[in-house]
Structure 1
Amino acid sequence: MSSLVFATNNAHKIAEIRAQLGSAYNFFSLQEIGCHEELPETTLTLEGNARQKAHFVKDHYGYDCFSEDTGLEIDALGGRPGVDTAHYAGPERSAAANNAKVLAELGDTALRTARFRTIICLVQGEEEHLFEGRCEGHIAREPGGEGGFGYDPIFVPAEGDGRSFADMGTQEKSQMSHRARAMQQLQDFLTRQADQ
């Protein structure tokens, strides 16, 4: 069985992928391989950050690895917050502050189109593979919903029924989620490999 590190310490994410692909791969979190340092994210693109994190694990710990980076891109803000999505309003990574900053910057702007993009980088041996998931939508004029995290209260997916991600349950959100789409591409790729 091949070993593969998921560059996260999120137990829910690890459990989910183990359940889906555990018979073909032995998945490890960063903590399980003894990686306790903050992974570098110093490039100016989602692709660059995903690549940087996956290669860091491969280069320093020797494991094949995949990592992801996600950003919210708002057209009226020139694609911001983009790569700065998590700490748009400051280093404390406050979702409430990030949402408030976006709404303040947009003000009464009519153009509110936006998208979430997730990039996954898989490093296996000497090979690198990139997978992208995206979800188009728009920014609401005020937060709504009690669920979700991050920008979910102000992001309304285009293929939904007008509710924000925060108004949806986890299963409903995952049917159109950028991250779920990128993960599905990765899972399809790994499944094809395992079947060969």
Structure 2
Amino acid sequence: MKRIVVASGNAGKLAEFNRLLGAAGYEFVAQGELGVEDIPETGLSFVENALLKARHAAEVTGLPALADDSGLCVDALDGAPGLYSARYAGEPVHPARNIEKLLGALEGLPDDRRGASFHCTLALLRHPTDPRPLLAQGEWRGRILRAPRGNRGFGYDPVFLDPEHGLSAAELDPAVKDAASHRGKALQVLRQQLGAE
């Protein structure tokens, strides 16, 4: 199971997987390189969507498949944008418009009401009908800034403040972000699960 198809076309996610699990001998290949199309994310939870995407990629390629379903959950918005984080401002996906909509929705709220968390669920299927998928989850608590800061990362990173470092996720060094982030934490859990196999 050393070669794993990633059920995503997000270059940022692929880079994080390779940084955090590549040293363990795993090779990750984006599903698009193998001719796999995106499928509709019809699940009602991060877990359901991750399983749907991983199963589809495994069926098409015959390889083990890793899917990530993640999003930003804002306390004052009852968990929105949540499952719809990537398409919060509609289609086509446009991160800057998503950020603009989010900042508009929180306009006027004081810092103590701008709490938020990034959530990540990873699902790894060894084959399409795997009855025991490996599931790993991670969460990163912080708050939403009033304006974007930094030019690293992707998605909502420029407006997500990591309270421990006092920097936005887009200002953090990648190695620091990997240790703190929701995806980094989920990947650490997954790495432990793979080591126990």
- TM band (smaller chain): 0.7 to 0.9
Task: Give 1:29's aligned residue.
Answer: 30
Q: Which residue of 1 aligns with 2:172?
A: 168
Provide, for residues 3-42 of structure 1, a one-character-per-residue CA deviation record: whole Å limited to 9, x for no partner.
53332344635643663222xx56543245x333123312
Instruction: Show CA shifts across 1:68-97 (max 9, x none).
Output: 011000010110000111111111221111
Separation of aligned partners in 1, 2:17 and 2:115: 32
Structure 2 gaps, min length 5: none
Query: TM-score scaled by structure 1?
Result: 0.85
Q: Which moved more, 1:165-174 or 1:3-12?
A: 3-12
Which is worse superposed, 167-176 or 36-45?
36-45
Structure 1 partner of 2:140: 135
Structure 1 residues 17 and 75: CA distance shift in structure 2, 3 A: closer
Tell me which amino acid in the other structure corresponds to 1:163.
L
Q: Which has the higher contact order (CA 8 A, sep 6+)?
A: 2
Structure 2 length-normalised TM? 0.85
Asked if the contact 1:14/1:29 (under 8 Å) is kept, the reply is: no
What does residue 152 of structure 1 align with?
157
Q: Verify the 8 A CA contact 1:75 1:113 in the aligned structure 2.
A: yes
Greater gyration radius: 1
Q: Deviations along 1:24-69, whole A, 9 cap, x unmatched?
A: x56543245x333123312222111101111112334433222101
Q: Is the 8 A contact 2:18 2:28 kept in 1?
A: no
d(CA) in 1 for partners of 2:152 and 2:21?
25
Is 1:69–1:120's contact at 8 Å kept on the other side of the alignment?
A: yes
Tell me which amino acid in the other structure corresponds to 1:63: L
Deviation at 1:190, TM superposition (A): 1.1
Distance 2:41 2:35 in 1: 15
Contact 2:115 2:144 in 1 (8 A): yes
The amino acid that maps onto 2:120 is: T
User: Percent identity among equivalent residues?
Assistant: 34
Pair 1:92–1:51, CA change in 2 (3 A):
same
Number of aligned residues: 189
AA at the equivalent of 2:23: Q
**For the Cα contact (< 8 Å) 1:132–1:181, is it kept in 2?**
yes
Q: Is the 8 A contact 2:18 2:27 kept in 1?
A: no
Q: Which runs of 5+ in 1 are unaligned?
A: none
